[in-house]
Amino acid sequence: MNYKDFIPFILSVEDKKNAVSIEYWFRVIDLKNDGVIDEEELEFFFKEQQQRIVKVTKEMIRFEDFLCQMNDIVQPLESSKFTLAQLKKSKLAYLFFDMLFDINKFIANEQKDSVALEEIHSNPHLTDWDRFALIEYEKYASVDDDTFCKCLLYAFFCDNCIIFKPKLKNFFFTLFKLTQKKSSYALRISFPLTKKTK
């Protein structure tokens, strides 16, 4: 995955509630490219997710039960046939995708504690992307340069690609630019993205 592909990918992973992310994941799952996610396509992705669920929860979930939950979440016009418009209309499309392929986010949603819920309610203007960016920025701001560079090199293992510090600022700037909706909060932490030295 190159840098240009990584940006829409990470945005779509971290904030599945926005229309762009819903379109991104719909295209990924719509293997037949017919504008409908059907039972066969869901089962294809569910098989891998089922293995992850068993590893994490030690419980086996049957596909029929999973499919019933998906129908309850989206409430499609025709059972087990999900269109892009229906997913966009649903306020729970993010849960649909998390259940299908993102076990960590699905479990996090299921187990949100009172502190996490309070943070969401106290900052309703923040998107999931804003929250992710804040957490990542705070991680960056709290570590020394050497530790951060080692983590960065480990995290960005593109083909022979080393992201140097000047490029890092551009990386974060590009991510914020692509969010389409710049909240004042996002702008506040976007500039400057240089680490303060002691």
Rounded to 10 degrees, the C-alpha dihedral 103/106/108/110 comes to -130
- Quick check: pTM over 0.85? no
Query: In the prediction, which pLDDT does 91 show?
Result: 86
As a three-state string, the secondary structure of the chain is CCHHHHHHHHHHHHCCCCHHHHHHHHHHHCCCCCCEECHHHHHHHHHHHHHHHHHHHCCCCCHHHHHHHHHHHHCCCECCEEEHHHHHHCCCHHHHHHHHHCHHHHHHHHCCCHHHHHHHHHCCCCCHHHHHHHHHHHHHHHCCHHHHHHHHHHHCCCCCCCCCHHHHHHHHHHHHHHCCCCCHHHHHHHCCCCCCCC
Residues 65, 25, 152: CA angle, nearest 5 degrees: 115
CB 12 within 8 A of CB 20: yes
Helix (H/G/I), strand (E/B), else coil: 182: coil
Per-10-residue mean pLDDT, the chain, length 198: 81 85 93 96 92 86 91 93 95 90 78 53 66 67 58 47 48 51 38 38
Query: In the prediction, which pLDDT does 131 show?
Result: 67
- Rg of the chain in Å (alpha carbons): 19
Kindly tell me the sign of the dihedral angle through the C-alpha atoms of 45, 43, 60, 23.
positive
- Per residue in 23-45, pLDDT (tens digit) is 999 999 999 999 999 999 999 99
Sketch out the chain's domains with CATH numbers. 16-111 (1.10.238.10), 115-190 (no CATH)
Query: In the prediction, which pLDDT does 75 show?
Result: 93
How many CB atoms neighbour CB 102 within 10 A?
Answer: 19
The answer for 196, left when phi > 0, alpha when psi is -120 to 50, beta otherwise, is beta
Distance (Å, whole) CA 53 – CA 104: 10
